[in-house]
Amino acid sequence: MQRILVEHVADIEVLGIHNIDGYVEPVEDQPTFEGNALLKARAGVAATGLPSIADDSGLCVDALNGMPGVLSARWSGPPKSDDRNNELLLAQLHDVPDERRGAHFTCAIAWVLPDGTERVVEGRMPGRIIREQRGSGGFGYDVVFVADEHAGEADGRGLTSAELDPAEKDRISHRGRALRELAPTVAEDLSGR
């Protein structure tokens, strides 16, 4: 967020939940990415009195009817584990042919002001699920996801999101797209225009 928002608001300092003493994250119990993002942003405003940005994102796999979706972080059950989530996803798609392994990452980002003003934007990154884990960057499902924009790279195998440098991932990712869409609104609201 800091890397993208600083382009629009030069002197912005993005604080995270770890900067707020005693902050307790709300339970993400909404059925949509938008609902969970709003829930978290509203909680941020309530805890700090400051404008708040929060997101919710996940992987939506075509062959799994859009799942894991909002359950992405908890797909393999508690406790949360990226490794177990990826192993389960690959097992569920084991017999699915390559041409039916389409997927996309979705990110909803909510911007909530202390006066109750709310705005939500959504970003997507289309791609596909590969058959093995590759790469060491990123987190979550990045090791099994190849974005459409990088499908022909790495000798035709495609580069996973975990193999992209942070600047390129910011450029094409669902979160980066949503933040770039929201950033002018954040800049306008914070400058008091």
Short-list 65, 177, 64, CA closest to 126: 177
Provide the Cα torsion 14, 17, 23, 24; round to 10°.
Answer: 140
Binding-site sequence positions? 56-57, 139-142, 169, 174-175
Binding-site sequence positions for Mg(2+)? 56
Catalytic residue among 11, 29, 55, 56: 56
Binding-site sequence positions for substrate? 57, 139-142, 169, 174-175
Environment class of 52 (CB within 10 Å of its CB; exposed 0-12, middle 13-18, buried 19+): buried
56 included as an active-site residue:
yes
Report the distance separating Cα 116 and Cα 97, nearest Å: 47
Catalytic residues: 56
